[in-house]
Every structure is written in C-alpha cells, then in structure tokens.
Structure 1
Amino acid sequence: MIGIYLSGTGNTKHCVEKLVHLLDERAKCVPLESPQVIDLLKKHDMVILGYPTQFSNAPFMVRDFIKKNSFIWDRKKVFCVNTMGLFSGDGTGCSARILKKYGAKILGGLQIKMPDSVCDSKLLKKDTEVNRQIVKDADRRIEQVADQIRKGKYPQDGLSFIAHIKGLLGQRLWFYYKTVGYTDKLKISDACVGCGLCVKECPMGNIQIKDHHAVSKKRCTMCYRCISLCPQKAITLLGNEVKEQCRYEKYE
C-alpha cells in the first residue's frame, strides 16, 4: 500500500497519512509532486489517492497526473479520498472515473470535511475551536473507515450516480472554467520581499524570483500552499486580500 496526495494547507496530507498508517504503519505516503512518486507507485498494488475538492472537482493537477501516467494504473486498486470545506458532490468520483478508463479498480471513496483552506475569502471561515472540533470529527471518521476497510468494507462516498448529479449541478457546471486547466490568476503584490518560500513550496514549479520579486507563470493548480505560507501575505488567487492563512497545524 502507498498513499499519494496533493495537499496545499496540510488537510489532505493529514487525512491520507492517518488512514494509511492505521491500515499499515509501515506504508509510505508521498506528495504527488515527489520525484519518487512514479517509482513508488510501480511497486504497490493498492493506492490511497487524496486531494482537496475544488468546485466539486478534482484539482486539474491530479487529473493531469492520472492521464500523463496512464500506463501505471492498470489493475491498481485505488481508494480515493477528498477533503472539502463544505460540499463535494462527487469529488472522489471525478478522479475515479478517469482511473477506471486506465484499468484501475476503484475500491471506494471517502469525502471528509476539514477546515476551509481558501485564505483570501471570508466564506466558510470558523474560529479556531470550531476548526479543532472539525479535525477531531474527521479523525474519528477516518478511524471508523479504517476499521471498515480492515473488515473488507469500503465506503463509497461520491461514487454514485446521485453524487455525480449533485456535484455536476451543485458547482461543477457553474465553475467549470475555473478547473478546466491550470490557472494564470495567481496575484503577487508589491508586499513580496523575494524570500523564495513560495518558489520552494509550489508543487507545480509555477513561481520564480525575478529582480527580488516572486513572479507567477500560468500553471497554478489552486492548492493555496503559497498563499497559506507567505510571510508577507503577498499572494492571492480568488480574492484580493488574505483574510486568514489556513494551515492544518493551527488546529492540531
């Protein structure tokens, strides 16, 4: 077994690591952008794939990764995990349907609520204690799911036809243009001091330093990692001002 994930603010990383280690404490978990990820995938038959939901869709980086490495999925057993701030619909189904095309067997899906991570919007923001309770509830749910899986029963969150319709009509149709590909909408203000942290942390290699200032290219995957970490709060995406730097570590 191996866990692989895209995680911007640490939510999905936590959920995948917790589930994988409850099932097999020796199993590895690696981020999707790791140079080792393909070699590790080749060695394992069971994969737990995790990512945050974006407008009831899997992030384009995740879908792109699956398609670019289509050769690797044949006969793999995959369990999909997606984290959400409020609503997912068929967030797990969005990657599961692609994986099936390449021969993967989808074992099940888990859609789990975690603290909202969209740093430049007031929507869905809650105080620290409420978010800590959300994390506790998520941990409890993961423990229950691990127990189910050990008994051979896999939850099917987000994989049904009804979930597909909910995701499609709930958000995906209305916001499809935001997730059809990578985005060039990342904004970096004059508050940037060129520290380079965003360059180091971006899973897409989308940011570079020019003349002591960070510059974004056109391959942002909307993970919010750079926005949640920038010491100067100089980076935004959907909004124009950082309201709260949302990191899983705040709620441990």
Structure 2
Amino acid sequence: MPRKTEKKMKCNIIYQSSTGNTRFGAEIIQWQIQREGGKCDLTRVAAVTADKLEKYDAIGIASPVYSLQPAPNVTECLAQLPSFPGKYGFVFITYGMYPANTIATLAQLLQAKGIRLLGVQAMRAEESFTPIRFPGLILSAGRPTNHDAILVRNFASELIHRYTLVRGGYDISPGLAFSRSAALDSLTRFATKDMMRRMMGRVIVDRTKCVQCGLCAANCPTQAIELKPFPMLDNNRCMGCWGCINICPYDALASPLAKNRLRYKGIREYRKMQIEDYLARVP
C-alpha cells in the first residue's frame, strides 16, 4: 500500500521591522521552513488582508518590542482580523532591553482568533531606543550574533516538528505554557505613547540632507509620517519609537535628545548579503 504523503507547512509571517532585526529573524524562519520542504511567505503588517491569509494553514507573528509592548500596528492588525479556527500559529519577537509581556500578549491575540499555538521565540537585538544609547554603554551591543541566528533556525525546525505532531493527533499544549505578569502589565502603563512621544520631542527635518526616499514613512509602525514632499509627522499617531530618526540613511531626521547619542542603523553585515549566504556561514 503506498505511503501517505506528509503534508508540509504552508505559512505566512506577518511582520513589523524598522531597523531590520525582526525581518532578519523572520527570514531565518522562512529559510528553514522552505529548506525542510514547506512554504513560507513574509508580509508586512500594512499589506495584510484576511483573504490573503486564507490560503495558509499557519500564521506567524513577528514583532519588535516597543516600550515594553508589541508594535501597535501588529496588535491592531490582529484585532481586526477575523477568526481562523483550524489554523496554526507562532510568535517571534525581538527586544533590546526587556520583552515584558509581549510574547503573552501576541500569543493570546492569536488564540483569541481560534489559532492553535505551535511555539514562541524571542531574539535579543541591540537596543535601538536612542535616549539610552551612550558610547560604550549600549544594551545588547552587537546582537543578534551567529548564536542568536542558530537559535532562531532551531526554533523554525521545532515548529515544523510540532506541526507534524499536531496534525498527527498529538497534544503539544502542555509544553507551550506561558504566564502573564500583572506587575509587568502595570509597568507598561507608565510607558504610554504620550510619554514616549514627549520624551522624543519635536522631530526636525533637515531638508538639505533629506532625499525624500520614503524609508521613514514606509517603516513607521503607526503610519504617522507622510511625504509632502518632505516627511511630516502626525503627533497624534506618533508613539515616539525613534525608528524614523534611527533608520534615516542620511541622518536627515533629528530631535533634541538625539544629540550626542548613537543612532542604530540595523544589522549592517546582514544587509549586504542574502539570507542564504548569511546562514551558509553559520555553523
């Protein structure tokens, strides 16, 4: 009797990434899933639609930690999506200082949509919050490392293994227990959008440096920037994440607190090569 063909995972990873770390991790997961015979696509949060997700049997969420919380456009996207009973899901986050309850928040949002959780993973990355980036004193400097990449790659392999187990009727839920800290929830109430916005101060655009490339607007997690034709910030939407100031390749955006601070430009080495080439160098 012919052996039944094992169904391979077909997933879509919804991601938000400004400086590149979260996309870096998402691409490693994508690469490993495809290497093991599955299919995996990446979709920016702004491009997600319910119809687009229907054809996948697994949905991944990849988000950086902003002010001890998930990126706001990621949580808004999940809240607006319909239920997907019968689908599988996983959570991947990146953080510099502390992840707080970010994993629990995203996992619970997926479960609220009827999605069965396969796993969660966090990757440490260099702290990008400009006010606390001082020369010689940067949290998680140099992260992610090759070791971090290996851990994410192993996580992707474990996702495939769990996917196969669940489809075979095994219950993996006891091994996926996660807790939520009420104390950490209280802490995030202090890191409000208004407080972070006031800390950042007025964003100044140097029109002699700006080339109107649109990188700041395309990567803003709250869609607070428009080009008219130079960047214009909507203070009511801005959450003070400093992403626009960090990622501008021409340092055309600044604020009073950005002076004498080191801006974070992302993973320079990774940006110069394809993910296949990068992982080929990792043991």
Same-fold call, TM > 0.5?
A: yes
Give 1:213 shift. 4.2
SS of 2:17 mapped into structure 1:
coil
* Corresponding position: 1:188 with 2:203: yes
CA contact (8 A) 2:19 2:265 kept: yes
SS of 1:215 mapped into structure 2:
strand
Amino acid at match of 1:19: I
CA contact (8 A) 1:55 1:88 kept: no
Instruction: Report what 1:245 is aligned to.
Output: 263
Higher relative contact order (CA closer than 8 Å, sequence separation 6+): 1
Amino acid at match of 1:216: L
Instruction: Report what 1:103 is aligned to.
Output: 114
Please say which of residues 101-110 and 8-17 is displaced more in the overlay: 101-110
Amino acid at match of 1:250: R
SS of 1:62 mapped into structure 2:
helix
Long gaps (5+) in structure 2: 1-10, 166-171, 271-283
CA contact (8 A) 2:18 2:247 kept: no
Instruction: Report what 2:72 is aligned to.
Output: 60
* Corresponding position: 1:168 with 2:185: yes
In the TM superposition, what are the counterparts of 1:12-161 in structure 2 within 5 Å?
A: 12-25=22-35, 26-34=39-47, 37-69=49-81, 71-122=82-133, 125=138, 130-131=141-142, 134-152=144-162, 160-161=178-179
Aligned residues: 242
Amino acid at match of 2:142: N
Long gaps (5+) in structure 1: none
In the TM superposition, what are the counterparts of 1:189-204 in structure 2 within 5 Å?
A: 189-193=204-208, 194-197=210-213, 198-202=216-220, 204=222
The change in CA–CA distance for 1:126 and 1:55 in structure 2 (over 3 A counts) is closer
SS of 2:69 mapped into structure 1:
coil
Identity %: 17
Give 1:96 shift. 1.8
In the TM superposition, what are the counterparts of 1:200-239 in structure 2 within 5 Å?
A: 200-202=218-220, 204-210=222-228, 213-217=230-234, 218-220=236-238, 224-236=242-254, 239=257
Which has the greater radius of gyration? 2
Give 1:91 shift. 1.3
Amino acid at match of 2:247: L
The change in CA–CA distance for 1:14 and 1:235 in structure 2 (over 3 A counts) is same
Partners in 2 of 1:226 and 1:157 — Cα distance?
39
CA contact (8 A) 1:10 1:249 kept: yes
The change in CA–CA distance for 1:216 and 1:179 in structure 2 (over 3 A counts) is closer
CA-based RMSD: 3.5
Give 1:236 shift. 4.9
Instruction: Report what 2:8 is aligned to.
Output: none
* Corresponding position: 1:6 with 2:24: no
